[in-house]
Structure 1
Amino acid sequence: MKNFAVACFFAALGVLANAQPAESLAAPVPPTIDAERARIGMERATLETGFLAEDAECYKRFAVNSCLDKVNVRRREAMADLRRQEILLNDEERRIRGADQIRKTEEKASPENQQEAAERRAKAVSDYQSRLEREKQKTEDRAATQSSAQSNSEASAAKLRGSQEKSQVRTDKQATAAEEAKKLSERQKEAQERKAQHEADRLKQTKPSAKSLPLPQ
């Protein structure tokens, strides 16, 4: 979004540049472009200083390579963003110089040619603004895609956790059921053993005693 705002400012600057009097014989670079270039240079130096400090901190950690990789990813993204801003500045500077050249040609051209040149300038401005709109849309689409991917990842993770929790519940129930079945089997076995012992004791108690032998005559 920052790039888009800067680019819109340059587009407006280009319109003002086209509206300058035809007597202008040169198209000096607007101070705003030089100021933006200086700002980008200062921002690049500040960022690099910060990243170098982060590199130094990485060397104090155990996972040095992992830390440096993360810093380099952010370094490349930041520097690429500044490079895109520089490209927009260069494009705008070339467009302003090109418009000045067209104005010089128009000074010697017929009214019809001047009208055609004005239409070409208007089309160039329109094309430039369309390009900015497309860049804005791409940025928003990328942000939406990243957000959607993150949401899908979080949903998948939640679904996986739910599935794991259900699986654990089933496992716990099965373990509990197996333990209960084991205890029931042991109780039944103990009951059968007690019953068999009781039956054996009863038989011993009810067995008739042996008859006494007759006395000798």
Structure 2
Amino acid sequence: MKALAAASLLLLATLPALAQDRDQEAERARIKHERDVAQDRFVTEEKACRKHFAVNDCISKAKRTRDDAMAELRRQEVALNDADRKRREEERQRAYNEKFTPEKQQQEGDRRARALEDSARRQKEFDENTAKRATQEADRAAHPRAPKEAKGAPGPQGTPHTANPATSQADAAKVAENREKYEQRQQEAAEHRKAVEERNAKRAKPAASALPPPPN
């Protein structure tokens, strides 16, 4: 029901614009038709003038009649273009105002903040998994198990192969680096939320300045 109501409201909002478009198309078609009629009339009158004694005066009069008709049609066309341009500017301004309302901007800020938090959460999970693997590697290096006879390969002197301490140190350094990046992203997300809240609080104050006109 809500979707149907929203569609009905959208249709009602677009009906005036559709009616204006049809009216303007009809006006442009009328102007074109009358322009063609004026030109055809001039051609006919010009041919008739050549049968008269004062040919030049007759043709000049026919031209003045045509030019006057063309000037009037041009004036109507300019007025029609101005009205169409004004209507489109109003539509752009209305769309701009609807897009950049304080509510819309707050929703966009909240969406970005949630995206930053989600990214930080995924990075935290990755860091925790990496730290867990590094801890397991360190435990295995500190407490090596006796290899089974059927598995593994002996070391250079027949001793079992153990984890490289340098690898465990590298994993620990990677964990520390990931932890630092995670804390930095958390701080950026908090600063972004704070900036959005301060901006929305300023817009909510009374006597706010009007929105700037949309770009051309």
What interval of TM-score do these two structures reach, taking the shorter chain for normalisation? 0.3 to 0.5
TM-score after normalising by structure 1: 0.39
Q: Which structure is larger by alpha-carbon Rg, 1 or 2?
A: 1
| Greater RCO, CA 8 A, separation 6+ | 1
TM-score after normalising by structure 2: 0.39
